[in-house]
Amino acid sequence: MSYKEIAKSLELLEKDWDIDSIIKDFHLGRRDDVSENSIKIRDVVFHIPFLTKIKKFILWKCYWPDCSNCCTRQGRLPLTSHDLITIGTGMKYQKTSDFIKNETVIATWQEASPGGGSTTLTSINLKRKVDETEADDGTHVKCRFLDEEGACGIHPTRPGVCYLYPFSTWLQNEKGSARVHATFQFTGDCPGFYLDDSIDSMKEILQEYSEIIYDYNTKSSGTMREGLGSISLG
């Protein structure tokens, strides 16, 4: 995301939430003391930001149901082959092909690669609104399955990517083996980031997410092998 997009998101966020000025400056790239701490939990390596001048980690906790920004400001909802079956079945479709035809849209987008450069991805995405088209990809659209209480109308069969939030994840080749990595998404939409002296207060959450993230990567890789999506490094 661009500086302008993140700044706009933070401006909207601050209408309802008090955001620590240090957290805000970090989002906007105004800190010159950013490093990271890599911590391996089960089969996932988490990259946690650390601010060296104040010796603080940037951590996260969820404020749901008071906050549902992750459901109102996501840019897309890519689906795994597992999602296609479970969500389609939950929506009473007899055929997965009919679900894909009526409820999804195909989009291609680029993301920055962890080591520099860019990655181009193509996937089948769940429509966040009934008339969503590829032109809506990457824009903030409130999910049509979000109810007035902030609950998901298709939970627990919601897309696997929804369970990842606020993390992004990728596979990295390490000595011939694929290692799962994860880090926070800093889009300016989430009020849950906070500062702490150690990672201890978030250890339980990281334990929970390590299973979710590893499972998602397994299903996402399977989706690519089945030809239901593609990824290329630029």
What is the tens place of the pLDDT at every residue in 31-90? Answer: 999 999 999 999 999 999 999 999 999 999 999 999 999 999 989 999 999 999 999 999
CA triplet 181, 183, 186: central angle to 5 degrees? 155
What whole-number distance in Å separates Cα of residue 115 and Cα of residue 172? 10
Percent of the chain clearing pLDDT 70 (strictly above): 97
What is the band of 117 on the pLDDT scale with cuts at 50, 70, 90? confident
Helix, coil or strand: residue 184: strand
Over residues 215-234, mean pLDDT: 91
Contact call for residues 219 and 212 (beta carbons, < 8 A): no
Q: How many of the other CB atoms lie within 10 Å of CB of 109?
A: 16
Higher pLDDT, 113 or 131: 131
Per residue in 135-187, pLDDT (tens digit) is 999 999 999 999 988 899 999 999 999 999 999 999 887 777 789 999 999 99
- Write down the pLDDT at residue 115: 64
- Write down the pLDDT at residue 103: 98
Interhelix angle 203-225/81-90, rounded to 10 degrees, is 100
Radius of gyration (Cα) for the chain, nearest Å? Answer: 18
**Do β-strands 44-51 and 177-184 pair in parallel, antiparallel, or remain unpaired?**
parallel
Closest CA to 166 of 86, 82, 83, 46: 46
Contact call for residues 168 and 182 (beta carbons, < 8 A): yes
What whole-number distance in Å separates Cα of residue 204 and Cα of residue 216? 19
What whole-number distance in Å separates Cα of residue 159 and Cα of residue 78? 8
What is the band of 111 on the pLDDT scale with cuts at 50, 70, 90? confident
What whole-number distance in Å separates Cα of residue 161 and Cα of residue 57? 25
- Write down the pLDDT at residue 178: 82
Q: What is the mean pLDDT of the chain?
A: 94
What whole-number distance in Å separates Cα of residue 213 and Cα of residue 193? 19
Above 90 in pLDDT, residue 211? yes
Closest CA to 31 of 49, 10, 6: 49
